[in-house]
Structures are given as C-alpha cells and as structure tokens.
Amino acid sequence: MKRNKVTLKILCMILGTVLLDSVSELLLKKGLLHTGISTIDSRNILDFIMMSASSGLIWLGVLLQITNFFIWIRVLSRIELSIAFPLGSAGYVCIALLAMLFLHEHIGWGRWFGIGLISLGVYFVSKSSQNEPV
C-alpha cells in the first residue's frame, strides 16, 4: 500500500519530532558546555565520559532523542520516507532559532538564506504529497 498522504495527525507528529529533536540538541550542547571541555580527543575522552554521565542536561537530551526515535518510527510507518524526511527538515529553522535564543549564537545572512531555501523545499515537498494519488 502506498502511504503518502500527510494528514493533520501525521503533520503534528512530524512537528513534534522536530521540536523534540531541536530541544534535545540544545540540551546536549548546553550539557557539553557545562562540562567545561571544549575539545574531545584521546587525552580527555575518559574525563568527558565521566562528566557527561553526571550531566542531567545530557541525560535529558538523550531521553528526548529516544522518545523522538519512537515517534519518528510511527511517522515512517504511516508515510513514505521521501515525504517524511524533508518535512522533518523544518528542524533547521527551529535549531537556528533555539541556538540564537539560548546559546547566543550568531546566525549570518548566508545561513538564513540557506535555511530559507530548505524551508522552500519543504513547502514544495509537502504540496507534492497532497497532489499525488494514494
């Protein structure tokens, strides 16, 4: 059976995975920053593992990624990967906004332009899934 219709429920699940993934990435990055380790290499890998294992932010990020995995599997069971994955790319916008707000990262115009192109592609993919027969 061909599954390609993006229903409101599937769209909500995809947006949920985008938010979960974005927040989990933010938590992992903040947890990493809290370890005080700026570069991970063979000399400090054990220190990094020990500090990461005791970081609540990192554990919460991992928990959100596990939750995200199960929701994503459900999405993939309902629609084709070639539709689901591009829609999930909306996370690029979410990550950029969270990085600006919570990590105070500078996002230049070139990056915003690229994110805009990705968003335009997401729009076209979502429209194409509505026009194809089930």
Distance CA 72, CA 81 (A): 10
Any domain includes 3: no
Instruction: Of 58, 56, 68, give the one whose Cα is nearest residue 22.
Output: 68
Any domain includes 20: yes
Segment 87-130, tens digit of pLDDT: 888 888 899 999 999 999 999 999 999 999 988 887 787 777 66
Torsion 38-44-45-51 (CA) sign: negative
Confidence band, pLDDT 50/70/90 cuts, at residue 1: very low
Any domain includes 118: yes
For the cut 80, the answer to whether the pLDDT of residue 12 exceeds it is yes
Number of domains in the chain: 1
Instruction: Of 111, 110, 115, 63, give the one whose Cα is nearest residue 90.
Output: 115
Any domain includes 1: no
Residue pair 130/87 in contact (Cβ under 8 Å)? The answer is no
| pTM across the whole model | 0.81
Domain extent, residue 89, equals: 8-131
Rounded mean pLDDT of the chain? 87
Segment 85-97, tens digit of pLDDT: 888 888 888 999 9
